[in-house]
Amino acid sequence: MSFGYMGKILLVDLGSGELKERSVPDEVYEKYLSGMGLAARLLYDMIPAGADPLGPDNVLGFVSGLLTGTGSLFTGRWMVTGKSPLTGTWGDANCGGFFSPAIKRCGYDGIFFKGIGKSPVYLYANGIKAELRDASHLWGKDTVEAEQSLIAEASPTAHVALIGPAGERLSLISGVSTDRGRMAARSGLGAVMGSKRLKAVVLDGKKRIRVHDPGAMRTLTKKCNGSVPPSIPISGGMNAMMGILLRVLPTAMAMDGRLVLSMYRKWGTTALNQMSIEWGDSPIKNWAGDNEDFGLGRSAQVNPDEIRKREKIKYHCYSCPLGCGGICTMEGKYRETHKPEYESVLALGGLCLNEDARSIFYLNELLNRAGMDTISAGATAAFAIECYENGILTREDTGGLELAWGNTGAMVALIEKMVAREGIGDVLADGSKIAAARIGRGAERYLVHAGGQEPAMHDGRSDPGYAVHYSVEPTPGRHTLGSWVYYEMWQLWKTVKGLPKPALFYFKGSKYKADGEKARIAAVNSKFMNVVNGSGMCMFGSFLGAGRIPTFAWLNAATGWNRTPAEYLEIGERIQTLKQAFNVKHGIEPLALRLSARALGLPPQPKGANKGRTVDIEKLTRQYWMEFGWDPETGKPTGECMSKWGLESR
Ligand code: SF4
């Protein structure tokens, strides 16, 4: 009998229409957990070297987390995984809502799809039966309409993951949606689903998830719940002032995640909107601008209090005591939208020098319904604007759009064309790197990417940890895998002996020194995030810090294992090596994933919050790879390292 995990997966061959359940040995969970780790273990073997990401050999996995449904908190994240068509690397995207427990309640830890269907289908499963059903009538519908139709025809209690028109049209920046427009947006995995003609996965199971020690789970959860902070009693204006203070002070204070969570409780991630611009965390004007180009006057419409005025209801993901989500009202074509996340606000706002909040709300809903990644869409628009401003794109190319910085109308029309794959929109609909190759004429000069993926809205010239993780992770360009400030908030040194402990106060300049300790911190971040993603935990919850959120103790109580926190980090290390080996197997050169020079401060900015800063990525990358025992010159896991983790070299 398994505890915590279900011990089973569902394999669906869309080519033959065959569905097979497969038991997964306990040893796999013991070595890789569930969620991301389970998917990495299975897909490393299942996807043949050099497989076309949009071909029948790519395998698309939907996985839950080991802690999902066990009575733990913040553990409702699910992940979609596969070979990314955007980067050619290991690909994954992560989302909250209620789909993660739905996978386990059907009796599975993951559902995996290979092959290509002859016509559009969706999978329906309820723990008793699993079957493919015709989805021709849903093809072409947006994510909100199609989800409503599926719930009406399948069951009012079903949970759905699905693609919109962007995934159907194989946009390489499309994602997978749930709960009426929440997105597992990154890595372009919506296009993989579209290539398989799989419109949706509809789950309506009722199975129980057993845990080894329910009493211990209850005690741990009660204590953790008591440490979740209340809403912060300050205004949005004061919040923006904090950003200025963080910029001008010569010293920094190690961040306590409770402060961040108290802001998220009040505003969600929009808490960062102005604060992050002011302290230099937000890239502006396609990463060539700075806080002075988008000061408090220009960002006023996205002050978190302004966003909050539009919030009709707040919502929580499954098992979340915080609730950072919200539904906002809006004028015009759509009446409501999910509260735009900080990432969407900046990508569609400051990155394009767009001050207009109404357009951001509209584009957020448009992209969510289309199933297109707001980060990549906004970043690709910013890239196109810079190309236009420098004469690389002309009015003729854009179909008459005057793509000037801050021209909201033109930017909205551009993104509408991307969604529709129309004219210039078709050139841009697969992200900025592919667009630069299509445009030619030196357009690559204005590209900011890591391995083909547009990095998220956190600037490594402010916190070099982001630049490191954008560049070295097997899934490049991602902000959810580590930074220096995440390490401060995770406080892992409280439970794992020997880890570096940041000083409470320190001179900011020390953040920019590339030394062995920084590389060690980055390696610990990657390992820990593999544990978090194997558990189905929300990264925001993990910001509570190791002394308050009992990730490792929950894992032990749920499964009956008796592992130390250090042993869990070893599991994280094994998963990281496996994902890197996946890339090597598919011909990826790890060095080629490095973030573009502009975003590394090469050359350094002449003014603004990040003036004069450059990230020494060469040194940090080499040291990071050494932390894992990978070749410091190539980033490839050595034969010795592969044997250490029981992995075969391929
Ligand atoms: S903190 Fe926000 S994203 Fe995380 S689980 Fe809670 S509601 Fe979901």
36-50 pLDDT per residue, tens: 999 999 999 999 999
Q: Pick the atom of ligand 1 nearest to 76's CA.
A: 5
CB 32 within 8 A of CB 579: no
Separation of 4 CA from ligand 1 center, angstroms?
A: 21
Mean pLDDT of 369-397: 98
Q: Is pLDDT of 312 > 90?
A: yes
Candidate of 317, 342, 343 to mutate for ligand 1, largest count of ligand atoms within 8 Å of Cβ: 317
Going from the Cα of 259 to the center of ligand 1, the distance in angstroms, rounded, reads 15
Q: For residue 358, how far is its CA from the centre of ligand 1 (angstroms)? A: 24
Q: Is residue 320 in contact with ligand 1, taking CB distance under 6 Å?
A: yes
Please check whether residue 469 is in contact with residue 522, taking contact to mean a CB–CB distance below 8 angstroms.
yes
> What are the start-end ranges of the E strands in 33-105?
60-63, 78-83, 90-95
Q: 228 CB less than 6 Å from ligand 1? A: no
State the average pLDDT for the chain. Answer: 97
Cα 206 to ligand 1 centroid, rounded to whole Å = 23
Interval between CA 178 and ligand 1 midpoint (Å): 14
For ligand 1, what atom is nearest to the CA of residue 317? 8
**552 in ligand 1 pocket by Cβ < 6 Å?**
no
What is the distance in A from the centroid of ligand 1 to the CA of 321? 8
Catalogue all structural domains in the chain, each as residue range(s) with its CATH number.
8-203 (3.60.9.10), 271-446 (1.10.569.10), 464-644 (1.10.599.10)
Mean pLDDT of 565-584: 98
Average pLDDT over residues 470-474: 98
Is the bond leading into 165 cis (omega within 30 degrees of zero)? no
Take residue 475 and report the two structure tokens written for it. 């899934």
Rounded to the nearest whole angstrom, what is the distance from the C-alpha of residue 76 to the centroid of ligand 1?
8
Q: According to the model, what pLDDT value does residue 648 have?
A: 74
- Bridge-partner residues for 8, per DSSP? 23
Quick one: what percent of the chain has pLDDT higher than 90?
Answer: 99
Q: How many CB atoms lie within 10 A of CB 612?
A: 13
Residue (of 115, 109, 130, 128) closest to 9 by Cα position? 109
Tell me, using a 6 A CB cutoff, whether residue 67 lines ligand 1.
no
Q: Residues 301-307: what's their mean pLDDT? A: 97
Any residues with CB less than 8 A from the CB of 596 and at least 6 apart, and which?
287, 447, 448, 449, 450
* Cβ within 8 Å of residue 43, ≥6 positions away: 59, 61, 81, 82, 83, 90, 112, 582
User: How do residues 48-102 score in pLDDT, each as one tens digit?
Assistant: 999 999 999 999 999 999 999 999 999 999 999 999 999 999 999 999 999 999 9
Pocket perturbation via mutation, ligand 1, pick of 320, 338, 535, 544 by most ligand atoms within 8 A of CB:
320
Contact 330, 358 (CB under 8 A): yes
pLDDT tens for 212-263 read 999 999 999 999 999 999 999 999 999 999 999 999 999 999 999 999 999 9
629 lines ligand 1 (CB under 6 A): no
Q: Pick from 269, 316, 318, 544 the residue to mutate for probing ligand 1's pocket: most ligand atoms within 8 Å of its CB.
A: 316
C-alpha 540 to ligand 1 mean position (Å)? 7
Confidence band for 570, pLDDT divided at 50, 70 and 90: very high
**pLDDT tens readout for residues 479-531:** 999 999 999 999 999 999 999 999 999 999 999 999 999 999 999 999 999 99
Mind spelling out the 3-state secondary structure of 338-359? ECCCHHHHHHHCHHHCCCCHHH
How far, in Å, is the centroid of ligand 1 from the Cα of 359? Answer: 25
In the reported structure, the alpha carbon of residue 299 is separated from the centroid of ligand 1 by a whole-number distance in angstroms of 25
**Dist. CA 137 → ligand 1 center (Å):** 33
Cα 387-164-473 angle, rounded to 5 deg: 60
| Ligand 1 mean position, distance from CA 55 (Å) | 34
358 C-beta closer than 6 A to ligand 1:
no
User: Is the pLDDT at 380 greater than 80, yes or no?
Assistant: yes
- pLDDT tops 70 at residue 553: yes
Q: Does ligand 1 lie within 6 Å of residue 96's CB atom? A: yes
Query: Cα separation of 85 and 361, whole Å?
Result: 28
What is the number of the ligand 1 atom nearest to the C-alpha of 324?
2
Confidence of residue 340 (pLDDT cuts 50, 70, 90): very high
pLDDT over threshold 70, residue 649 = no
- Residue pair 170/194 in contact by the 8 Å Cβ criterion: yes
Q: Percent of the chain scored above 70 by pLDDT?
A: 100
* pLDDT of the residue at 202: 98
The whole-number pLDDT of residue 1 equals 82
Which whole number is the average pLDDT over 147-153?
98
* Cβ of residue 585 lying under 6 Å from some atom of ligand 1: no
The per-residue b/e assignment along 623-649, b for 16 or more CB within 10 angstroms, e otherwise, is bbbebbbbeeeebbbbeebbeebebee
Cα of 547 vs its chain's centroid, Å: 25
